[in-house]
Amino acid sequence: MTEKLVIRVGQSQQDSVHWLIFSAHDEQIIASGELTNGGELSQLTEKAATRETALLLPSSQVQLKAVALPTKWNRKLEQALPFMLEEQLACDVDDVFIAIGKPVQEDEQHSIQIALCDQAWLQAWITLFADFDIELHRITPDALLLPEPEPKTLAMVELADQWLCRFGQWHISAIEKNWGADYLHALAPDNIEHYSPAESVPDVAPKTAKQSDYDLPLAIFAKEMKNQNFNLQQGVFAAAKKQPQWWRDWRSGVIAAGVAVLSFVAVKSTQLAIYQSQADDYRAQAVDVYKKAFPGKVVRPHLLRQQIKNELAGLSGAEQGGFLELTNHFVAVYGEVKDFTPETLRYDRRRNELRIRAQAGGFQTFGQVKAILEQRGLNVQQGSLNNDGDVVIGEIRLRGES
């Protein structure tokens, strides 16, 4: 298909929808327009039938990140990625859709480019397009399709009373005019390249007008698609493959054979149910053991085996001055101090530091614990202490040799 239908939606389905039909062959705009809201997408159904359709998401709803990795990107790191991000997110990681970009390396540091957005929000848009029989071939955040600027240079274009910005290869944003000045001052670019008139943009850096490239924002994005192949249509949102011709020809026969197979499966269903019940019991037992062995950890039953491997690897990889030695020193305190109960333990392997959040009967108990551990030759730091009813809650950090 040489013609593309580019559709840019807003933050909600009540916001306006911009669309443009673009000829990739001669880079010409064939048609463009604006819908009042997402409910009018039916007007684009016929236009999408014979064209490759790209959905552009507002940059305010998609966050781009580069996640530092301990080694070169691989399948195991992809499985561990949600756990690596868990502490960086303000919401449950299960509510976030993570799209994988490309691995990059700067000096000796490996990292992976990712995009994050609310999974339910993206699902609602994809469902709406499916309801109007519009097949999507690509999903991309809008500002990522601005021409890639030079380092420390900010590329900008105005769309729907916002400035869409791209700063470097993997940094995008959408700023409102009423607070954009603060953002630009904080970003501190060396130069600003604007693809639409920029009189309202604060003079935080020299401006370069790309007047020869001035065009409708969606036309600029359509031209840049050949240089940017990132697509959020992956994982749970991967495009369904079209049925091959042989399936369409033989579908009736295959379905008839499937009915016969179901008769055999029905005989085994009772036995399978029993096995499944036993498996559920074993899984519950395994989860219970994991919680006792690693209190405070989030248990994900479908990833339990990998979680156990990770925990054991962390334990077995600790050296003489590591986790086991620090834990051994800390356990010895129990025989000498009363009314001291740990709540959580966290170990930082890089710093060889064990952090204990605990509750005690009084402030002096924490001082007593600190003194005992220092007598054992440990570097001990005591965090802030707070009253919580009849108990005192605080944190102690033990550090061994790095």
pLDDT in tens, 97-155: 999 999 999 888 999 999 999 999 999 999 999 999 999 999 999 999 999 999 999 99
H/E stretch holding 369 reads helix 363-375
Cα dihedral value 19, 160, 155, 65, nearest 10: -80
Residue with the bigger pLDDT between 135 and 1: it is 135
Q: What percent of the chain has pLDDT over 70?
A: 88
pLDDT at 19 over 90: yes
How far apart (Å, rounded) are the C-alpha atoms in residues 310 and 244? 42
Residue 172 DSSP code = E
pLDDT at 209 over 90: yes
Beta strands in 152-237 (DSSP E): 153-159, 162-167, 172-176, 191-194, 207-209
* pLDDT-derived band at 275, boundaries 50, 70, 90: confident
What are 278's two structure tokens? 């036993």
How far apart (Å, rounded) are the C-alpha atoms in residues 402 and 399? 8
* pLDDT-derived band at 309, boundaries 50, 70, 90: low
Q: What is the mean pLDDT of residues 370-381?
A: 86
How far apart (Å, rounded) are the C-alpha atoms in residues 11 and 125? 10
Nearest CA to 134 among 203, 40, 220, 207?
Answer: 40
| Alpha-carbon distances, residue 116 vs 57, 96, 141, 199, 317 (angstroms) | 12, 6, 10, 32, 32
Q: What is the mean pLDDT of residues 282-294?
A: 67
DSSP 136-148: -SEEEEGGGGSPP
Q: What's the confidence (pLDDT) of residue 300?
A: 75
How far apart (Å, rounded) are the C-alpha atoms in residues 263 and 268? 9
Q: What's the confidence (pLDDT) of residue 319?
A: 46
Residue with the bigger pLDDT between 318 and 260: it is 260
pLDDT at 321 over 60: no
Q: State the residue for tokens 């003194």.
A: 371
Average model confidence (pLDDT) across the chain: 86
Q: What is the mean pLDDT of residues 289-305?
A: 68
Question: HSE-up of 308 (CA within 13 Å, CB side)?
Answer: 13
Residue with the bigger pLDDT between 360 and 63: it is 63
With H, G, I as helix, E, B as strand and everything else as coil, classify residue 379.
Answer: strand
DSSP 7-19: EE--SSTTS-EEE
Q: What's the confidence (pLDDT) of residue 52?
A: 94
Q: What is the mean pLDDT of residues 48-77?
A: 94
Q: Are 109 and 71 in contact (CB under 8 A)?
A: no
Pick from 90-99, 120-129, 321-330 the range whose average pLDDT is largest. Answer: 120-129
pLDDT at 240 over 80: no
How far apart (Å, rounded) are the C-alpha atoms in residues 200 and 181? 10
* pLDDT-derived band at 24, boundaries 50, 70, 90: confident
Beta strands in 58-199 (DSSP E): 63-69, 96-106, 109-118, 138-141, 153-159, 162-167, 172-176, 191-194
pLDDT at 320 over 50: no
Candidate from 8-22, 40-54, 239-253, 279-293 with smallest mean pLDDT:
239-253
Contacts for 21 with CB less than 8 Å, ≥ 6 apart:
3, 4, 5, 6, 29, 30, 31, 32, 47, 51
Q: What percent of the chain has pLDDT over 90?
A: 49
pLDDT at 59 over 90: yes
Q: Are 168 and 151 in contact (CB under 8 A)?
A: yes
- Burial profile 281-316: b = 16 or more Cβ within 10 angstroms, e = fewer: eeeeeeeeebeeeeeeeeeeeeeeeebeeeeeeeee
Contacts for 189 with CB less than 8 Å, ≥ 6 apart:
152, 153, 154, 167, 204, 205
Q: What's the confidence (pLDDT) of residue 65?
A: 93
How far apart (Å, rounded) are the C-alpha atoms in residues 140 and 144? 7
Q: What's the confidence (pLDDT) of residue 241?
A: 63
* pLDDT-derived band at 244, boundaries 50, 70, 90: low
Q: What is the mean pLDDT of residues 217-228?
A: 94
The structural domains of the chain, ordered by start, are: 3-237 (3.30.420.380), 245-315 (no CATH), 320-400 (3.30.1360.100)
CB atoms under 10 Å from CB of 145, counted, come to 27
How far apart (Å, rounded) are the C-alpha atoms in residues 105 and 84? 18
What are 79's two structure tokens? 């499985």
pLDDT at 265 over 60: yes
How far apart (Å, rounded) are the C-alpha atoms in residues 184 and 175? 9
Q: What is the mean pLDDT of residues 235-261?
A: 70
What are 256's two structure tokens? 């008839």
Q: What's the confidence (pLDDT) of residue 249?
A: 59
Residue with the bigger pLDDT between 257 and 134: it is 134
